[in-house]
Amino acid sequence: MFLLLSVFGLVVVMDQVTKAMIVARLQEGAFTAGIGGVRFRHVTNRRNPWGSIRAVRLMMVVWLALVVMTGIVGALIQIPALHIALGALAGGATGNLIDGISRSGVTDFIDLRVWPVFNLADTAIVAGAVFLLWTLLHVQR
């Protein structure tokens, strides 16, 4: 369970710190060169229904259910790879939820130019889901 909580916390902190850096350094829509072909572009995704009280309540219920299920599975199944995957998934979801509620939209900033702009929380969610699938298919219990 320590590994799950560590990954969860690391993802949330890294996500929030990088989003705060982008908000502080780049105006909405502005971009700067990154590493390789990647550039950083400040985009706020407001297509999510964060403004509605009803939507926020629904998202909180879904998030709480995700966290509770993650905790139960993490406590019952002692497979480190599973804990890493679940921590990344829950951390990414939490990072975007915090952003959506506190900023009325999710801050995205990683621009590959051939893909929609995304953030570290999105990356953690996708990586966690892929790693979870791999773990379920390959790890011996």
As a whole number of angstroms, the distance between CA 93 and CA 96 comes to 5
Q: Which of 114, 115, 97, 94 is nearest to 106 (CA)?
A: 97
User: How many Cβ atoms from other residues are within 10 Å of residue 122's Cβ?
Assistant: 19
pLDDT digits (tens, 9 = 90+) for 19-59: 999 999 999 999 898 888 899 999 998 765 555 656 667 77
In the set 15, 99, 111, 122, the catalytic residue is 122
- Which element (helix H / strand E) includes 109? strand 106-111
CB 84 within 8 A of CB 7: yes
Q: Which residue has the tokens 């929030």?
A: 16
108 is catalytic: yes
The pLDDT value given to residue 100? 81
In terms of Cβ atoms closer than 10 Å to its own Cβ (0-12, 13-18, 19+), residue 126 is: middle
User: How many Cβ atoms from other residues are within 10 Å of residue 73's Cβ?
Assistant: 14
Q: Which tokens in the block code for residue 125? A: 């969610």
pLDDT digits (tens, 9 = 90+) for 83-105: 999 999 999 999 998 888 888 78
pLDDT digits (tens, 9 = 90+) for 102-129: 887 899 999 998 999 999 999 999 999 9
Q: Quote the mean pLDDT of the chain.
A: 87
> For residue 32, how far is the Cα from the chain centroid?
22
Show me where the domains of the chain are located: 2-21+38-138
The pLDDT value given to residue 33? 87
In the set 15, 99, 108, 111, the catalytic residue is 108
